[in-house]
Amino acid sequence: MRKRRLGSGGLEVSALGLGCMGMSFGYGPAADKREMIALIRAAVESGVTFFDTAEAYGPFLNEELVGEALAPFRGKVVIATKFGFKFGPNGEQLGLDSRPEHIRQVADASLKRLRVDSIDLFYQHRVDTEVPIEDVAGAVKDLIREGKVKHFGLSEAGAQTIRRAHAVQPVTALQSEYSLWWRKPEEQVMPTLGELGIGFVPFSPLGKGFLTGKIDEKTSFDKSDFRNIVPRFTPEARKANQVFVDFLTGFANRKNASPAQIALAWLLARKPWIVPIPGTTKRNRLEENLGAVDIGLTAEDLRDIDEAASKIPVEGERYPERLEQLTGR
């Protein structure tokens, strides 16, 4: 597995990471724990060294899963987790909370669940407008000084927030949605990252599964699958967006690859400091995704993809309005 560096602080990770959220949360009922532990360990055996989780995934279940699965590989892998939400007694989400004292509480709890002595990469999950970002960055800076955290990250933050945070504590990576059918980060965020030397970790690099070609207008999701509330995933939107997958499939056939592999290879070709984190609960999909690292897209390939994609309108927003309001701040 090829390696890439995130940020200027020397954090080296595999060119593709593994997003672990869907194993416990978001895409239907939690998968079998033993099977997911085996899958995570299979990823390590295949060269993956970068694993993404968060206290909010469950909540807490995913951190516990990742901690158990990666316990035998302590010091050999990089685990990223996140802070920034508060929860009720039954795990219900009660909004944002990035107060410094809460960040410290989350760090201590995450360390225990992940079974590590230091959190490799600690992201603010969403920008909390009630707490100055300088206070957030300062709190993480203190945790880094104490050895509880190694690197600071932000998720779905806007360019100005990134600059303000970076001035207090260097930001190693920004995690945000980015894929062939969600390219807004190219407008302001990516130029800012390039200027400041910050890595980019795209989540949902396969469009929440749609770019794999395995979802169409007839696909039904479990009642607990959050795609049920995503405008881009209404049956009507999926029908309209099929033309995007058809284009991707046609291009993939030319390269003897799958649509998912081309979508990931395209991201890897954008910048050397981009590390996508596709998620899966299936061993064959893990192997398929990892195959993207070995697909070389030429400058001509990239031009062809960009030209074709620019002519295909995408139907539906990526989030409901209330969730979109938490991004880009």
CA 149 to chain centre: 19
CA 128 to chain centre: 19
User: b/e map of 12-29 (b: 16 or more CB within 10 Å)?
Assistant: ebbbbbbbbbbbbbbbee
* 177 neighbors 208 (Cβ within 8 angstroms): no
Tell me the DSSP string of 24-90: TSSBSSPPPHHHHHHHHHHHHHTT--EEE--TTTTTTHHHHHHHHHHGGGTTTSEEEEEE-EEE-TT
Among 91, 89, 27, 66, which Cα is nearest to 223's? 27
Task: Provide the sign of the torsion angle of the four alpha carbons 166, 12, 207, 96, taken in this order.
Answer: negative
* 136 neighbors 81 (Cβ within 8 angstroms): no
Task: Return the axis-axis angle of helices 61-70 and 33-45, rounded to nearest 10°.
Answer: 50
CA 136 to chain centre: 21
Candidates 57, 123, 178, 319; catalytic one: 57
Tell me the DSSP string of 161-228: HHHHHHHHS-EEEEEEE-BTTB-GGGTTHHHHHHHHT-EEEEESTTGGGGGGT---TT----TTBGGG
57 included as an active-site residue: yes
- Which positions are catalytic? 57
